[in-house]
A and B are shown apart, each in its own frame.
Chain A
Amino acid sequence: MNGDTDRRLLLLDAADNVLIATARIRAEETIMVAGNPVVLAADLPIGHKLARRAISSGEKVFKYGAPIGSATEDIGAGAHVHVHNLKSDYTPTYHLEDERAKHGSGT
């Protein structure tokens, strides 16, 4: 049931509400997500997730047909799903995304 979706987006399980990028998709490209055109706000790197449909704040996010955490805000169809809008139901995720923006030299 992945009809009318860009072929670079992989649906792992019919129950999933996210799709996986199998290659980097460039910002401002218009891509099809479940029949609707979506313009990417930023590059979607390989292995990253994109909402297959609108996901409400507090709703479980499913990948591999299994829950991988809860949405922390309303996520629009076609939006990047990551640490800024998805949290673990077990332990918080440690990452350096904000540090890179603050201190990084571009690497």
Chain B
Amino acid sequence: MMQGYLRADGRKGIRNTIVVGYLVECAHHVAREIALPFRDSGVHVIGFPGCYPNSYAEQMMQRLCTHPNVGAVLLVSLGCESFNKYRLEQTVRESGRPVKTIVIQATGGTRKSIAEGNAFIAEQRAVLDAMEPVPMAVHELVIGTVCGGSDGTSGITGNPAAGRAFDMLVDDGAACIFEETGELIGCEHIMAARAVTPELGEVLEESVAKAARYYATLGYGSFAAGNAEGGLTTIEEKSMGAYAKSGASPISGLIKPGDIPPRGGLYLLDVVPDGEVRWGFPNINDNAEIAELIACGSHAILFVTGRGSVVGSAISPVIKICANPDTFRRMADDMDVDAGRILEGDGTLDEVGREIRDLVLDLGAGGKTKSEDLGHQEFILTYKSFEPIGPSCLPAA
């Protein structure tokens, strides 16, 4: 049975993590050193490297620091960066979580800041470890999905199996989020037909058209060299495979990074910035996408790989679903699910889909993922800008 940690806003977390958040790259080393002695006891480092302010990054940090899987927050500032540390600290405090900001320049440098940070973490860890979890239901879950290191097997085994798991979770009332509009190029019309309203269908199509324009300007699709080595030839081929992660449920809404689904259902996360092309690639690697799914409240991430990604994430566990049976044999230590076995006649999409769904539920009942056991806590956050979502993006109450 699933259990969660009840937060003041009514959401529940399946982890009770302490976040150490650096507010500029200059504070990153100190943040890392503060967390290091606690690396195996649920203390994760996140942060924003830039010295210039950015409202997207500020909202991401707010959402991540008040994520249901997070129980306490330590912010680490150098002192002179432009990040609005006052507003972030206030947001965390108002969420009912213990929070402290260490300003390295005011504290007296690296050693003193690390010592002060260590003391705060030790104190908060003891408090959080004594917290009693409460029962948690499937409809209280938010689950994200992403694919990375895709190959020609991803769209045949792992992605459609993740889609079957999504269908089961949506049927039980969970909110499920799929993403990367740049990897839906070519699927926009069939996707729009699944929208719960015609207006939402138009918004879904426009989000993919925006991604196509953005990537065309940059001169590269959302396609890595290894995708081609793995047998994928074009972005539209990769898209058809990636799209299968969404399953077959009706699409209830479109959200942007940091928007939290208002109720259960299937949501598309539009990750491509609005306005003119600036800041570079929408998401410079898979972890940037994972961070955005988590900022939307995802308790866990379904990550489908063919070539063999090893990543995990800070804050929320990442379930790795391996689409390619040869990769699974090579990298079994990193993989939670062997979806490639379908190609060898050993299992069906429905069976693997159920296995994935059961693993998700098990995360709320003491289960851990391979990437958690291996200590993976990747995190990245870069500059972006978004307009708020429009009125037709969310389902009517």
A45 partner residues in chain B, CB cutoff 8 A: 152, 230-231
B233 touches A64 (CB 8 A): no
In the assembled complex, the Cα of A51 lies from the Cα of B151 at a distance in Å of 18
In the assembled complex, the Cα of A94 lies from the Cα of B230 at a distance in Å of 13
How many chain B residues touch A (CB < 8 A): the figure is: 38
Using CB atoms, name the residue of chain B closest to A45: B231
Whether A69 is near chain B, meaning CB under 8 Å from some CB there, is yes
A68 touches B240 (CB 8 A): yes
A96 partner residues in chain B, CB cutoff 8 A: 225, 228-229
> Which listed residue, B154, B185, B229, B240, touches A64 by the CB 8 Å rule?
B240
In the assembled complex, the Cα of A95 lies from the Cα of B344 at a distance in Å of 28
* Known contacts A46-B343, A90-B236, A94-B225: A66-B186 contact under CB 8 Å: yes
Max count, chain B CB within 10 A of own CB: residue among A12, A46, A83: A46
B228 touches A93 (CB 8 A): yes
A93 touches B236 (CB 8 A): no
Whether B322 is near chain A, meaning CB under 8 Å from some CB there, is no
Stretch at the interface among B78-86, B212-220, B376-384: B212-220
Max count, chain A CB within 10 A of own CB: residue among B223, B224, B236: B236
Query: In angstroms, how far is the closest chain A Cβ from the Cβ of B161?
Result: 15
* Known contacts A47-B151, A48-B152: A95-B237 contact under CB 8 Å: no
B129 partner residues in chain A, CB cutoff 8 A: none
A63 touches B231 (CB 8 A): no
In the assembled complex, the Cα of A88 lies from the Cα of B151 at a distance in Å of 16
B212 touches A47 (CB 8 A): no
Whether B282 is near chain A, meaning CB under 8 Å from some CB there, is no
Using CB atoms, name the residue of chain A closest to B307: A47
Which range contains the number of A residues in contact with the other chain?
20 to 34
Whether B27 is near chain A, meaning CB under 8 Å from some CB there, is no
Whether A52 is near chain B, meaning CB under 8 Å from some CB there, is no
Query: In angstroms, how far is the closest chain B Cβ from the Cβ of A96?
Result: 4
B216 touches A46 (CB 8 A): no
* Known contacts A45-B231, A46-B324, A90-B212: A68-B237 contact under CB 8 Å: yes
Whether A79 is near chain B, meaning CB under 8 Å from some CB there, is no
B212 partner residues in chain A, CB cutoff 8 A: 90-91
Using CB atoms, name the residue of chain B closest to A23: B343
Q: What are the interface flags for A57-96 relative to B under an 8 Å C-beta threshold, 1 for contact and 0 otherwise?
A: 0000001101111000000000001110011111111111
Using CB atoms, name the residue of chain B closest to A95: B228
B237 partner residues in chain A, CB cutoff 8 A: 63, 68-69
B325 partner residues in chain A, CB cutoff 8 A: 23, 46
In the assembled complex, the Cα of A91 lies from the Cα of B154 at a distance in Å of 21
A34 partner residues in chain B, CB cutoff 8 A: none
In the assembled complex, the Cα of A49 lies from the Cα of B230 at a distance in Å of 10
* Known contacts A46-B326, A88-B221: A93-B234 contact under CB 8 Å: yes
A66 partner residues in chain B, CB cutoff 8 A: 186-187, 190, 236, 240
Whether A22 is near chain B, meaning CB under 8 Å from some CB there, is yes
B231 touches A49 (CB 8 A): yes
Using CB atoms, name the residue of chain A closest to B154: A47
Q: What are the interface flags for B184-213 relative to A under an 8 Å C-beta threshold, 1 for contact and 0 otherwise?
A: 011100100000000000000000000010
A94 touches B306 (CB 8 A): no
Whether B6 is near chain A, meaning CB under 8 Å from some CB there, is no
A83 partner residues in chain B, CB cutoff 8 A: 228, 233
Whether B235 is near chain A, meaning CB under 8 Å from some CB there, is yes
In the assembled complex, the Cα of A82 lies from the Cα of B229 at a distance in Å of 10
A69 partner residues in chain B, CB cutoff 8 A: 233-234, 236-237
30 A-B pairs with C-beta separation under 8 A: A20-B152, A20-B231, A46-B151, A46-B153, A46-B231, A47-B151, A47-B153, A47-B154, A47-B230, A48-B231, A49-B152, A64-B241, A66-B187, A67-B186, A67-B236, A68-B233, A68-B240, A69-B234, A86-B233, A88-B234, A89-B234, A90-B185, A92-B221, A93-B228, A93-B233, A93-B235, A95-B225, A96-B228, A96-B229, A97-B229
Other CB < 8 Å A-B pairs besides A66-B240, A67-B186, A82-B231, 19 of them?
Answer: A20-B152, A22-B344, A47-B151, A47-B231, A47-B306, A63-B240, A66-B187, A66-B190, A68-B240, A83-B228, A90-B216, A90-B235, A91-B219, A94-B221, A94-B224, A94-B228, A95-B225, A95-B227, A97-B228
Q: Which 7 A-B pairs have the closest CB atoms?
A: A47-B152, A95-B228, A88-B234, A47-B231, A68-B237, A48-B231, A91-B221
